[in-house]
Structures are given as C-alpha cells and as structure tokens.
Amino acid sequence: MNVAVNTAVFLKDLQAGVPQIDCLRRLQQLALPIPAVEVRGEFFDPQQQASELAQIAQLCQQADWELYYSVPEALFTSEGVAASLSENLQLAQKYQIRSLKYSFGNLPDLTPATIADLRALLTQSGVQVTIENQPNAHGTLRQMQQDLAWVRQHQLPLGYTFDAGNWYWVAEHPEVSFGQLQDQVTVFHLKDIKHQDTVLLDQGCTDWRNLVNQLPETVPVFLEYAVDQGQLADQIKLVNAALSR
C-alpha cells in the first residue's frame, strides 16, 4: 500500500494559477509508486475544465493512477440534494474519475421518493461518492455520527472521507474521532496540524502513523497539505515507509 496525492500539495502553485495538469506532470517526474491522485474542483478554470480533465485522464492512464475529484460543495442543502450531483457523476463517467468527494452539508429532510431516486442515481453511476468532515460546525464528531447514521438508515451508497486535520478547527481530536468512526472510513486525508496550522508530518500534534496503520489496505490514504516541491518526495517516502507494515 502506497500513499496517494491530492493536488493540495501544490497549493502555492494552484493559488498562483498553475493548472493542475502541470502539477501532476511534475508529480509523475518523481517516479514514485503513487496509486491515485485527487484533483480539486475549485482550481479549475471553468472554460478550460473539460480540456484539462481530458489531459488529466490521459496522464492518469499513462501513469497507472486512479483519479479522484474533490467537489467544493455540500451534497445536501436546505433545498435538498446538490443540483451539481448528476452533472458531476456524468463528468466522472466521462473522464474515468473513480470517486467524488463532497462535504455533507445540512442533514436533509427528503421525501422517501427523493431518497429512492438518490439511491438509484448513486448505485447506477458506478462512481464512489463520499462525504467529508469539515472544519466547521457541520464537522463535529457528534454531527458526523448523526450524518453517517442517517446515511446508513436510508441505505445510501455513500462513503466517508476522514480528514485527519479538520478536527482541530472544531476543537476535537482526530485520534478520538477516528476511534468512533473507523469502521465507516472509505478514504483517508492525511495532514498534520500545529496551532491550527498545517505543517509537515511529524511537526504537528497528530499521531498519524497510528491512524494510517489501523486502516485496511482497501482505504486509500491521500497527502492533502501544501508541501514545498523539494520536500514532496521525502514526505511521500515517509508515509510509504509507515504504510509498508
């Protein structure tokens, strides 16, 4: 099992307008065993998104990477299911995107017919959709337990992306939360935090090795924090060493 990479590792470049395809080409040049990459919807130019995703899909095929996509939206709003879901599922099917990640949003009040339609849409798409704990009031342990219980109650095929860093912004501990939610985790976002600031691994407060070593090998682990380009290979190797248990 090797660590995967979210394009957040290139955050400074992305904020400066560098396309994600260019960042991923640099990642490929590291020639490290990376099983998957996750791109971020907020950093696509809407006018160039289709052409860039086509290039990314081609690169992933060449590099033997699975492709994940982080959607910067909540899956559920006060009006119901996010309007973007159908379109994003079609996008995923077109560009061989294995998984879409949303935040959960508001615990919805949906009719049985709407829930049935959502269940069918998710099942028929063949695309994994996950929800993630957020660094806000929607992302407390108690709220995530309620949200995930609601998902199970309605038999919705939604996965759960456990973000190890976001807990610090809601005054929770990732180790405690992981102990309560471990059996529901389908994707793991790895980062280390110190004083509510993302830092390199082993420079923060997170017992990250203990967390990732409790995951089954079927759960992908993604680096998801800004890393200077000269340190990225070492951070990848550090996690891979921990995962080679």
pLDDT beyond 80 at 245: no
Across 45-74, average pLDDT: 97
| pLDDT for residue 80 | 94
Nearest CA to 191 out of 162, 217, 215 is that of 162
Confidence of residue 107 (pLDDT cuts 50, 70, 90): confident
- CA dist., res. 140 & res. 177, Å (int): 9
Confidence of residue 108 (pLDDT cuts 50, 70, 90): confident
Give the global pTM: 0.96
| pLDDT for residue 79 | 87
Sign of CA pseudo-dihedral 11, 95, 21, 5? positive
- CA dist., res. 209 & res. 61, Å (int): 30
Percent of the chain with pLDDT over 70: 100
- CA dist., res. 138 & res. 75, Å (int): 12
Nearest CA to 72 out of 30, 49, 47, 39 is that of 39
Tokens of 28: 């490929």
Confidence of residue 219 (pLDDT cuts 50, 70, 90): very high
pLDDT beyond 90 at 55: yes
pLDDT digits (tens, 9 = 90+) for 167-201: 999 999 999 999 999 999 999 999 999 999 999 99
Sign of CA pseudo-dihedral 84, 93, 53, 6? positive
Q: Which domains does the chain have, with CATH numbers?
A: 4-243 (3.20.20.150)
